[in-house]
Amino acid sequence: MNDVAIIGGGMTVFQRRLKETGKELSYLATKMALEEAGITKKDIDMVVMGSAPDAFDGIHQKGENLLDGAAGAGKPYVRVFNGGGTGVFAPIAGWWHVASGVADIALVVCEEKMGNCYPHPQTAFRHIWDPILDRPLSPNLVWLFAMEMNRYMTKYNIKKEDIARVAVKNKRNAVGHPCAQLPDENITIEDVLNSEMMAWPVQRLDISPPSDGASALIFCSKDKVRQFTDDPVWVDGVGWNIDSTMWTNRDLSFPRYVANAARMAYKMAGIHNPRKEIDFAEPYDPFDYKELHHMEGLLLCNKGEAPILTREGVTERDGNMPMCPSGGLLGVGNPIAATMGQKICELYWQLAGKAGKRQIPTDPMVGVGQAWGDIMQMATVAVLRRG
């Protein structure tokens, strides 16, 4: 396989963007990435689009609709999607376009426009369930995740305030992010614990907001990368794994599919001891407990230990193992696939020293990003390293 570097990233502001179409959002992010890399559409060999369910935008086969805004017209172009896992799976697809040697430069664009769907994007999630066993009971995702959160808290005797601490950290981290939807430098644990109860134990401020936005990244082969930068950021390892749709047969306290994906990525990256060899992480945090769950799934600590490390400040931006220095989904927003912006673009910007106010002060060399999706079953992981 060929070595693959990242040479540019772009990201729109995340918020309810009623004004732009999905393809206009894609254009804005793509243009930023092209400018950061110092290239034009002509230099792009192939394009990957990541976008989650068609039901958000309300356009069937929306990849085809979005392509002209993603510099895909007239190019080899493919859309990949696996629900919430898409934000890291699309860059994995960008990586394999270059690693395989079929492309020297691949552009990855991720777009989501959840604001089209009303009365709420959760409407789209009504149709992801098994139609025979689950749907007749009218569940929704927040209820299911509430049960997973409860199981995690009960098994490891975790207090709610230790989960709320993640929401506080990430919303504060997002203060330095120019694309952030919900930054809040003054938020407290009490604010989270006093917010509206949605489905016990999940409260309003435990959850990231639905959003609209787009992000983009440019992947480049080792042969070409020196034309663009002397200090490349490399994709060292990728992994993905999906567990059974029969989620009812799992314990739910530990995301074993995340661990499987992480092991795949670490093996490729030559990482034997992730706790020592990884400097920071962007675990997927659509809920505050999910950052903790995923920190454990990524094998960055023992089971049940993530809340303790968080309480001790280890996961703060200036801690020993920063988590979600971008502000994550909780602080920057959650336009599903476009969260590539926090999970992989952020790794690139941190490792390239381009993270501005969010820059981790300890000069990190290796970061891991992860996304999670479908019915508590999909994990996508990528390890990036400064060159």
Partner 1 sequence: MTFLEKQTDPTTPMHWTGDMQADYFYSNGVAGDRFFKHLMKKDTFLASECPECGVTFIPPRLYCEDCFCGIPDDKWVEVKAQGVIRTNTTAMIDAHNEPLEEPVVMALIEIDDTDGAMLGRIKTDMLGMDLAGLMVKAKLRPRKDREGTMKDILYFEPY
Interface residues with partner 1 (CB under 8 A) are 18-21, 23-24, 27, 30-31, 34, 40-41, 55, 58, 68-69, 71, 73-74, 115-119, 123-124, 126-127, 131-132, 135-136
Of residues 121 and 373, the one with the C-beta less far from partner 1: 121
Smallest separation (angstroms) from partner 1 to the CB of 372:
23
How far is Cα 222 from Cα 382, in angstroms, rounded to an integer? 18
Smallest separation (angstroms) from partner 1 to the CB of 44:
9
Smallest separation (angstroms) from partner 1 to the CB of 112:
14
Of residues 71 and 281, the one with the C-beta less far from partner 1: 71
Residue pair 158/307 in contact by the 8 Å Cβ criterion: yes
Of residues 127 and 159, the one with the C-beta less far from partner 1: 127
Smallest separation (angstroms) from partner 1 to the CB of 99:
25
CA distances from 384 to 95, 106, 265, 279 (A): 11, 17, 10, 11
CB burial of residue 347 (10 Å; 0-12, 13-18, 19+): buried
Of residues 43 and 191, the one with the C-beta less far from partner 1: 43
Q: Which is nearest to 55 in space by CA: 77, 18, 30, 83? A: 83
How far is Cα 140 from Cα 385, in angstroms, rounded to an integer? 38
Smallest separation (angstroms) from partner 1 to the CB of 374:
17
How far is Cα 111 from Cα 27, in angstroms, rounded to an integer? 10
Of residues 307 and 335, the one with the C-beta less far from partner 1: 335
Of residues 28 and 314, the one with the C-beta less far from partner 1: 28
Question: Alpha-carbon dihedral of residues 12, 16, 19, 23, nearest 10 degrees?
Answer: 50
Smallest separation (angstroms) from partner 1 to the CB of 131:
6
Cβ–Cβ contacts within 10 Å for residue 294, how many? 26
DSSP code at position 322: -
